[in-house]
Chain A
Amino acid sequence: MADHVVGPPHEHILAEEVSDELVLYDPVQETFVALNSTAADVWRMATGEYTVDEIVSSLASSYGMPDEAIRDQVETAVRELVEAGLLPPEET
């Protein structure tokens, strides 16, 4: 998963910032999804420009933590956003 380029999100997804969290609405699937602050940070970096590794490094740096301390959270967030149909799957 480390080399997986994350995003960009499907264009129809709506996002609203609430505090440091995000709430997403997918009008196609008619689903609402809440993202905690870490998942919200992953979403904000899911622009199609960064790999999972790059997101891990960037967020770890901004949180003042080692990469490995947040890798699981980032990978889980990416996996769940893809499974929810909010981000495109990894290209194989």
Chain B
Amino acid sequence: MSPGPPRSTDLVFNSLGTIVQVRSQEPTLGELIRNLFRHFPPSGQSPDLVISITHDQGRYRIEKNEEGIADGCSRDKALVQLLSIVNETSVYGATSLVVHAGAVASDGEVIAFPASAQAGKSTLVAACLKEGFDYVTDEALLITDTGRVIPYPKAMWLTRESRAALSVDEARLMAPLDDRYKSPVLPEELGAQVAGTPLKMKHLVLPERNGAPVSLEPLGPAFAATELLTHAFNRYDRPREWFELAAGLTRTMSAWRLRYGEASEAASYLRSRLTKSPAS
């Protein structure tokens, strides 16, 4: 029996409240896209964002809501663009407090790592997943008005160096990119799963990778609140409400500064110090 014609992809999913539709004619790319967004809930609603990827003789064109974004690019660059557009639209479209942070969970309790870009959030999150934590996000921590955390399980972006340090099996990556880019890595590729809900904030950990022996220094609640707010993408959307929410959260969570050299060592330390379930 012949395999039949290649299938096109038409995927609709909910990403932090933004309904995203991704269309691709190219079966291989379509399979990658389905894998990369496999942890986002499918949606039957009309899309807020439509991304179409077409190709001609190996060169790709991307359209966002029928407007050309990039043309003549490689498959990998098209994938990077797609993930970037979905991420940016989702994060800035969310109505919850959205903090620039990585986060993991254990027994429904969230440990968040607010930090700027290039601070090593994704690598630290990935190391925690290998240590047995559940995945929440490597980019955007969503906290609702009631203080609950919503997972944002996008693929993690890891450099080749980070993947090597974490012993990621390159041959089994679902969407490996060429050496010019970080590669997306899914939680299951690190032996982990996406955290189930409900999730509540338990620890705010400010990562400081400075080569020092791994340690945790307790921080005051007022400082923790300002760190949450200064790392929030949308802190000025509803400033009074977010201010009250952040202050309220610090009454029930602990805050720490984590100094470390190697992410794996830090993850193991966090597991032993901040959770009820030491790794087996």
Binding site for B on A (CB under 8 A): 14, 16-19, 21-23, 25, 27, 30, 32-36, 40
- Residue B221 at the chain A interface, CB threshold 8 Å: yes
With both beta carbons as reference points, the residue of chain B lying nearest to A26 in the complex is identified as B239
Within the complex, which residue of A17, A18, A22, A32 is in contact with B230, where a contact is CB–CB below 8 Å?
A32
Complex-state Cα separation, A14 to B225, whole angstroms: 13
Stretch at the interface among B25-33, B181-189, B242-250, B268-276: B242-250
A32 & B225 in contact (Cβ 8 Å cutoff): yes
Which residues of B sit under 8 angstroms from A33, Cβ to Cβ? Answer: 226
With both beta carbons as reference points, the residue of chain A lying nearest to B251 in the complex is identified as A18
B225 & A23 in contact (Cβ 8 Å cutoff): yes
Which residues of A sit under 8 angstroms from B221, Cβ to Cβ? Answer: 18-19, 21, 23
- Residue B236 at the chain A interface, CB threshold 8 Å: yes
Complex-state Cα separation, A32 to B99, whole angstroms: 15
Which residues of A sit under 8 angstroms from B92, Cβ to Cβ? Answer: none
Q: When A18-B251, A23-B247 are in contact, do A36 and B240 touch as well, CB less than 8 Å?
A: no
Tally chain B residues at the interface, Cβ within 8 Å.
19
A34 & B243 in contact (Cβ 8 Å cutoff): no
Complex-state Cα separation, A34 to B226, whole angstroms: 6
Query: Mostly helix, strand, loop or mixed at chain A's interface?
Result: strand
B233-280: which residues lie under 8 A (CB-CB) from chain A? 236, 239-240, 243-244, 246-248, 250-251
A36 & B220 in contact (Cβ 8 Å cutoff): yes
Complex-state Cα separation, A4 to B129, whole angstroms: 55
Which residues of A sit under 8 angstroms from B240, Cβ to Cβ? Answer: 14, 25, 27
- Residue B164 at the chain A interface, CB threshold 8 Å: no
A32 & B229 in contact (Cβ 8 Å cutoff): yes
Which residues of B sit under 8 angstroms from A19, Cβ to Cβ? Answer: 220-222, 250-251
List, sorted by A's number, 16 A–B pairs whose CB atoms are closer than 8 Å.
A14-B243, A16-B247, A18-B221, A18-B250, A19-B250, A19-B251, A22-B222, A23-B225, A23-B226, A25-B243, A27-B239, A30-B239, A32-B226, A32-B243, A34-B222, A34-B225
Complex-state Cα separation, A23 to B250, whole angstroms: 10
A23 & B222 in contact (Cβ 8 Å cutoff): yes
A36 & B222 in contact (Cβ 8 Å cutoff): yes
A18 & B239 in contact (Cβ 8 Å cutoff): no
Whole-angstrom distance between the Cβ of B114 and the nearest chain A Cβ:
13
Q: When A21-B220, A30-B236, A36-B220 are in contact, do A16 and B243 touch as well, CB less than 8 Å?
A: yes
A16 & B226 in contact (Cβ 8 Å cutoff): no
Within the complex, which residue of A17, A23, A27, A35 is in contact with B246, where a contact is CB–CB below 8 Å?
A23
Whole-angstrom distance between the Cβ of B177 and the nearest chain A Cβ:
38
Complex-state Cα separation, A48 to B246, whole angstroms: 29
Whole-angstrom distance between the Cβ of A27 and the nearest chain B Cβ:
6
Whole-angstrom distance between the Cβ of A68 and the nearest chain B Cβ:
25
Which residues of B sit under 8 angstroms from A17, Cβ to Cβ? Answer: 247
Which residues of A sit under 8 angstroms from B251, Cβ to Cβ? Answer: 18-19
Among B222, B225, B239, max chain A CB count under 10 A is at B222
Which residues of A sit under 8 angstroms from B250, Cβ to Cβ? Answer: 18-19, 23
With both beta carbons as reference points, the residue of chain A lying nearest to B239 in the complex is identified as A27
A18 & B222 in contact (Cβ 8 Å cutoff): yes
